[in-house]
Amino acid sequence: MVDEPKSAGTSSEEDQIALRLTKVAALRELQIEPWGNGFSVTHCCAEVNLAHDGDDAEKLTAAAKSYTVAGRIVALRSMGKLAFIGVRGATRPRDPALTPTGRRATDLQLMLRKDASVGWDLIKYLDLGDQIVATGRAIRTRTGELSLETTEIKLAAKALRPLPEKWHGLSEMETRYRRRYVDLIANPEVRDTFVARAKLVSTLRRFLDERGFLEVETPTLHTAEQAGGAAARPFNTHHNTLDLDLKMRIATELHLKRLVVGGLERVYEVGRIWRNEGIDRSHNPEFTSVEFYWAHATWLDLIALTEELLAALARAVRGSEKIIYQGQDIDLTPPYDKVSMIEYVAAALAPDLRGVSAQLDALSNLLPSAWANFERFASRYGWTGDVREAEKKLAHAATLGDRIAWAFGTFCEPALPKDRPVFVVDFPLETSPLSRKRDSEPRLVDRFELFVAGMEVANAFSELNDPRDQEARFRAQVDARARGDQEAMPFDADFIRALEHGMPPTAGEGLGIDRLAMLLTDSASIRDVILFPLLRPEAK
């Protein structure tokens, strides 16, 4: 039995690639290299758009300036002796996404006449997706669109695969994440998100540089002993030559504080962190943090600095301190409210007492059963969660601090105000193994977390610099690990040795760059601000 000859199809992706390859061969017959180089490009599409956005036809004629631009064909309308080619050029970080008249700055239309364009015959070999180089003058078409009256067109790089549909683009999130290169072509607003993210990071660096902070880079490969600085499970890896098991860092904290000991007293690192945890809308296994350490400052200085920083980032990225996130107006204008963990929890369980010390006394005297007073929390904070789940978590809370953190996280956190950032303060000692004890109440630490839109975006505290106290805290972490807490920190003996040389009193803070980027680009998922988020491999 002989195979039926395949029907001479022309529409499957395979067929389209085959067809484009025949064009490649035909072009080479014509001595045209489909993937040539060395083209002289004098301008970007965006430059033409921004230079002439509001110019009328007379002004354009008077200008009579020749441009040679490059870009990708995203529309192709040919009508015999006249053709219009839609070109999407490069996105440049300093250009606005839209021109003053509201057109996308990267997109420029070419107009070609059969009798006035060198390369007209090339059109029949061109496809949507091809990279081209075009020369011409800016004009207004009869319908008034700014266009390049093209005198010469060249193929710069042939595309073998078809682009997604021009109107709806590429919409399936899975494909957009897996083939970000196509997403960036088909959905140009994705480019805007990553331009905004880059602006956020550069503004952050400038902010810290201007205040005398030194940017450094510390190891991302940690020994088991070094892999602390946060409550998280690390990724494991291995160095072959040293035959050494290593872990990817879960924080930059401990190395940066070693540098403060060494005299780099204002120091920061923007860097990749890996945490071997679940994935959801606000967690990716690898993400970017900035941590900065500021000798002779306290957590209260960090509150002021954080307010200033957030407002500056919002102005730089969004042009305003008032932003909208997922439909919610959020005002980032300082100052921000402070909410006490202790007071919030005590308000439900020990409502008559004033002052955190008295409230702590009362909370520490509560019977275990008294903590499970879900009705009190529900009536005060509108909690509607799963009682059995909450009880399960409470059962794991070994210390008073753990119970306070449980109650706050479970009941109070969802009730925090949503229209402005909030500093959560008065953290219990047990949940803060690297923070300095509060002088006036040693059951608490000098620490805050900043919440915006229900997300933790910053964690900061006055650093613990008493080496013997740090040693005891590490030991408590080792004990917790022995009890089954897989996120407890290891005992980092070298870090203790560093503290024994004397670290000046220091305040330190960590910010989640990805979450800030979500906020300032109005992105619902962390995957939308990470170019290549981690996904399971595609099925074969």
- Restricting to residues 305-364, name those near RNA by CB under 7 A: none
Q: Segment near RNA (CB under 7 A), from 24-32, 71-79, 261-269, 353-361?
A: 71-79
- Complex with RNA: residue 50 or 182, whichever CB lies closer: 182
How far apart are CB 386 and RNA at their closest, in Å?
6
**Helices and strands, counts by H and E, the chain:** 17, 19
Determine if 397 is a binding residue for RNA (CB under 7 A): no
Determine if 79 is a binding residue for RNA (CB under 7 A): yes
* CA proximity to 445, closest of 525, 378, 508: 508
Contacts of 250 (CB under 8 A, 6+ apart): 227, 228, 229, 230, 232, 233, 234, 273, 274, 275
How far apart are CB 117 and RNA at their closest, in Å?
10
β strands within 79-173, DSSP E: 82-88, 107-113, 131-140, 146-157
How far apart are CB 432 and RNA at their closest, in Å?
9
SS3 115: coil
State the pairing for strand pair 337-340/328-331: unpaired
How far apart are CB 199 and RNA at their closest, in Å?
24
Among 37, 142, 240, 419, binds RNA (CB under 7 A): 142
* Cα–Cα distance list, 389 to 141, 381, 384, 480 (Å): 66, 18, 12, 22
Q: Taking CB under 7 A as the rule, which mask of x and - marks residues 152-191 in contact with RNA?
A: ----------xxxxxxxxxxxxxx-x--------------
Contacts of 365 (CB under 8 A, 6+ apart): none
Determine if 386 is a binding residue for RNA (CB under 7 A): yes
**Region class of 243: left (phi > 0), else alpha (psi between -120 and 50), else beta:** left
Interface positions, 16-55, toward RNA (CB under 7 A):
16, 19
Exposed / middle / buried, residue 446 (Cβ in 10 Å: 0-12, 13-18, 19+): buried
H helical segments located in 124-252: 173-178, 180-186, 188-210
- Complex with RNA: residue 141 or 202, whichever CB lies closer: 141
- Complex with RNA: residue 28 or 113, whichever CB lies closer: 113
Determine if 392 is a binding residue for RNA (CB under 7 A): yes
Q: Segment near RNA (CB under 7 A), from 53-61, 142-150, 252-260, 352-360?
A: 142-150
How far apart are CB 273 and RNA at their closest, in Å?
11
How far apart are CB 219 and RNA at their closest, in Å?
22
Determine if 431 is a binding residue for RNA (CB under 7 A): yes
- Complex with RNA: residue 283 or 376, whichever CB lies closer: 283
How far apart are CB 382 and RNA at their closest, in Å?
14
Distance of CA 188 to the CA centre of its chain: 17
Determine if 527 is a binding residue for RNA (CB under 7 A): yes
Q: Segment near RNA (CB under 7 A), from 10-18, 202-210, 467-475, 491-499?
A: 10-18
* CA proximity to 503, closest of 430, 431, 434: 434
How far apart are CB 501 and RNA at their closest, in Å?
30
How far apart are CB 129 and RNA at their closest, in Å?
8
Interface positions, 96-135, toward RNA (CB under 7 A):
109, 111, 113-115, 127-128
- Complex with RNA: residue 300 or 535, whichever CB lies closer: 535
Among 7, 40, 241, 440, binds RNA (CB under 7 A): 7
Interface positions, 408-427, toward RNA (CB under 7 A):
408-409
SS3 369: helix
Contacts of 315 (CB under 8 A, 6+ apart): 321
Q: Positive or negative CA dihedral for 223, 224, 226, 232?
A: positive
Residue with tokens 């860092």: 249
Interface positions, 471-500, toward RNA (CB under 7 A):
487
- Complex with RNA: residue 3 or 210, whichever CB lies closer: 3
How far apart are CB 311 and RNA at their closest, in Å?
24
Contacts of 345 (CB under 8 A, 6+ apart): 359, 363, 404, 407, 408, 411, 412
How far apart are CB 373 and RNA at their closest, in Å?
18
Determine if 58 is a binding residue for RNA (CB under 7 A): no
- CA dist 369 and 396 (Å) reads 14
Among 248, 313, 405, 503, binds RNA (CB under 7 A): 405
Q: What's the 3-state SS for 402-457?
A: HHHHHHHHHHHHHHCCCCCCEEEEEEEHHHCCCECEECCEEEEEEEEEEEECCEEE
What are the tokens at 506? 């220091």
Q: Segment near RNA (CB under 7 A), from 199-207, 305-313, 468-476, 519-527?
A: 519-527
Among 27, 82, 90, 221, binds RNA (CB under 7 A): 82
Determine if 536 is a binding residue for RNA (CB under 7 A): yes
Interface positions, 206-235, toward RNA (CB under 7 A):
230-232
| Run of H or E residues at 269 | strand 266-274
Among 56, 121, 145, 337, binds RNA (CB under 7 A): 145
- Phi/psi for 224 (5° steps) reads -55, -35
What are the tokens at 158? 């042939």
Residue with tokens 């002993």: 225
How far apart are CB 24 and RNA at their closest, in Å?
12
- Complex with RNA: residue 207 or 381, whichever CB lies closer: 381
Among 5, 80, 212, 319, binds RNA (CB under 7 A): 80
Determine if 278 is a binding residue for RNA (CB under 7 A): yes
CB atoms within 10 A of CB 165: 10
How far apart are CB 380 and RNA at their closest, in Å?
18
Q: Segment near RNA (CB under 7 A), from 5-13, 37-45, 258-266, 359-367?
A: 5-13
